[in-house]
A = this chain, B = another copy of it.
Amino acid sequence: MSRVVSRNEINMADVAQRAGVSVATVSRALRGLPGVGEATRERILEIAEELAYVISPEASRLSGGPTRRVGVVVPAADMWFYGQMLAAIERRLRAADLDVLIYQVKDVDVRQRFFRQLPTRRKVDVVILIALPLPPEEASRLDHLGVEVVVAGGSVRDFPHVEVDDRAIARTAVAHLTGLGHERIGMIRATSYGDVHWDPDRLRLEGYQLELAAADLPQRPEYVASVPFTPEGGAEGADQLMSLPDPPTALLCFSDEIAFGALEAIRRRGLRVPEDVSVIGIDDHPLAATLGLTTVRQDVAAQGEMAAEMALLRLDHRRVEDVVMSHELVVRTSTAPPPARGTT
């Protein structure tokens, strides 16, 4: 207590000396290994506490221990979905006393460099890949990582993963609209970023098409707009679809953020939501409740936690099962039956 711990670090040898034992015994005691007398162990723990001893991770690692670090590879930390994921993963892993390293790989060249250099090698025990669309060459590089891999928000090869059923999510949304009586339903897709295709986008489009078919509605390619994954993108998409000669009466948006832009664009055209046009999103973004947006909710934080849990299991080399998280329709005020034909 009287002693200030600063740059001159306290080492295991200091603890050992103070306790009158060898460093080997301190090492065992601190890690809860068998082969240390109860009294000895307690004394050692007390002294370590008192000296505010922190183990040198480098030395520990170098002599065979794990790094106790997890790498999270994510397209961009500044987008809502990834931020949620990342935050949840960090919280869970921190609780298990692991450190979290973050690697953003949004830009194609940064991502390619990542997979060429594999900078997580020798630095982490597990890598969590978040919703990363990967060309085969890059996916195959993962074997060279030399660490466990877990995937969240999608799937990559046969690595353990947690995801939602994007096809079913889109079907749920479209079924809600057809249930209200809509027959002209448009979809605003979010274009893949960079050079690679994005699974959720592809699967949600499939779900949209499947559900239209299930409701005996025609597939109208002009009802599908592809836009950048931003609110402005959503506005563009809505403008494009609503200026069609025979515009849709309802819009499924790839995400709530896209939907926010669509809502605004529709209002700017002098149309009312939901009287003239219904809008449904996907995610249940915090703003969705405020803006009254009907959406299909997925629990992003829960996916992150689950991914962290899987990482923890893989650390112990235990088998883990893939997980598909549930989703749920949240009806608010942006969806209603279509206007009577010709009224618009």
Q: Which residues of A contact B (CB under 8 A)?
A: 4-7, 9, 52, 54-59, 61-62, 67, 69, 76-80, 83-84, 86-88, 90-91, 94, 99-104, 110, 118-119, 121-123, 143-144, 146, 230-232, 234-235, 257, 260-261, 264, 286-287, 289-292, 301
CB pairs A–B below 8 angstroms (17 shown) = A6-B143, A6-B144, A6-B146, A7-B146, A58-B62, A59-B62, A77-B86, A77-B87, A78-B87, A79-B83, A86-B102, A94-B110, A99-B101, A231-B289, A232-B290, A260-B291, A264-B290
Cβ of A290 and Cβ of B78 under 8 Å apart? no
A290-B6 contact given A78-B87, A87-B77, A87-B104, CB 8 Å threshold:
no
Q: Which chain B residues lie closer than 8 Å to A101 at the CB level? A: 69, 99-102
The quantity of this chain's copies bound in the complex is: 2
Cβ of A235 and Cβ of B87 under 8 Å apart? no
Q: Which chain B residues lie closer than 8 Å to A104 at the CB level? A: 87, 90-91, 94
Cβ of B289 and Cβ of A57 under 8 Å apart? no
A231-B78 contact given A57-B123, A90-B102, A146-B7, CB 8 Å threshold:
no
Contact of A289 among B4, B123, B232, B286 (CB under 8 A): B232
Q: Which chain B residues lie closer than 8 Å to A61 at the CB level? A: 58
Q: Which chain B residues lie closer than 8 Å to A234 at the CB level? A: 290
Contact of A231 among B87, B232, B290 (CB under 8 A): B290
Contact of A287 among B9, B78, B100, B260 (CB under 8 A): B260
Q: How far is the CA of A56 from the CA of B63 in the complex (A)?
A: 12
Say how far A251's CB is from chain B's closest CB, in angstroms: 15
Which of chain B's residues has its CB closest to A290's CB?
B231
Contact of A83 among B77, B88, B289 (CB under 8 A): B77
Q: How far is the CA of A291 from the CA of B234 in the complex (A)?
A: 12
Which of chain B's residues has its CB closest to A147's CB?
B7
Q: Which chain B residues lie closer than 8 Å to A62 at the CB level? A: 56, 58-59, 62
Say how far A141's CB is from chain B's closest CB, in angstroms: 11
